[in-house]
Structure 1
């Protein structure tokens, strides 16, 4: 769950993205895993999903870093965070994401998907429903 003020808006990277609602100093925690807002799906639950819902979870979810077989699906703005090879955040901790430099209000928050999804492969952006843009969990 995002724990700093954010909003979703048009992104120059792809579609929409998550933007800082106010100045975020370097070192500030910006996200925390909160099972009240972040759904954890087991392998059996993933297999039982209808195709369209499974595609949605594969696009917006990611494997939990330390709890094998679980997929995390965020229900807040965090699920719209875009990938960057030069992120302004750090998500190497499975419980907390951090700002790694000062982030000004209105700046897009970006992360490196490979920090928490070892199967991540950058693919050309495609609209949801046509094809997934992240590797399957």
Structure 2
């Protein structure tokens, strides 16, 4: 669950992204796994679920690092965070995320998906210098 004010808008990276609705200081806790808002869904839904569910999860979920039997689906604006290999957030801890540096109000929030999804670059065939939205399959 994002713990800061955000909004969704067009992104220069891909499609739409999530943007800071307020200035954020380096080191500030910006996201915390909250089971009331961040759903853990069995991976089997990706294989056996109805097509609409599978497409939604393929685009907006990611593997739950502590328990790979599940994927995480964020019900708030966090699901629109785009990937960058030079992100302004730090998600090296599986259950929380921090501002890697000061983030200006209106700046797009980005995360390095490989911090919580080690197979990301292999699955998406991207080079570490690329900027892309990992949700695009």
**TM beyond 0.5:** yes
Structure 1 position 106, deviation (Å): 0.3
State the match for 2:98 in structure 1: 98
Structure 1 position 56, deviation (Å): 1.2
Contact 2:84 2:132 in 1 (8 A): no
State the match for 1:116 in structure 2: 116
Structure 1 position 52, deviation (Å): 2.5
* Deviation larger for 73-82 or 112-121: 112-121
> Which TM-score applies when normalising by structure 1?
0.86
Segments of 5+ residues of structure 2 without an aligned counterpart are none
Q: How does 1:70-89 map to 2 (within 5 A)?
A: 70-89=70-89
State the match for 1:61 in structure 2: 61
1:99-121 per-residue CA deviation (whole Å, 9 max, x = no partner) reads: 01000000000000111112212
| Alpha-carbon separation, structure 2, partners of 1:20 and 1:51 | 33
Partner of residue 136 from structure 2, selected from 99, 116, 133:
133
| Alpha-carbon separation, structure 2, partners of 1:133 and 1:4 | 25
State the match for 2:49 in structure 1: 49
| Alpha-carbon separation, structure 1, partners of 2:103 and 2:113 | 19
Structure 1 position 125, deviation (Å): 7.1
Structure 1 position 92, deviation (Å): 1.0
Structure 1 position 68, deviation (Å): 2.3
Contact 1:122 1:133 in 2 (8 A): no
> Which TM-score applies when normalising by structure 2?
0.86
Count of residues paired in the alignment: 129
State the match for 1:129 in structure 2: none
Structure 1 position 46, deviation (Å): 3.4
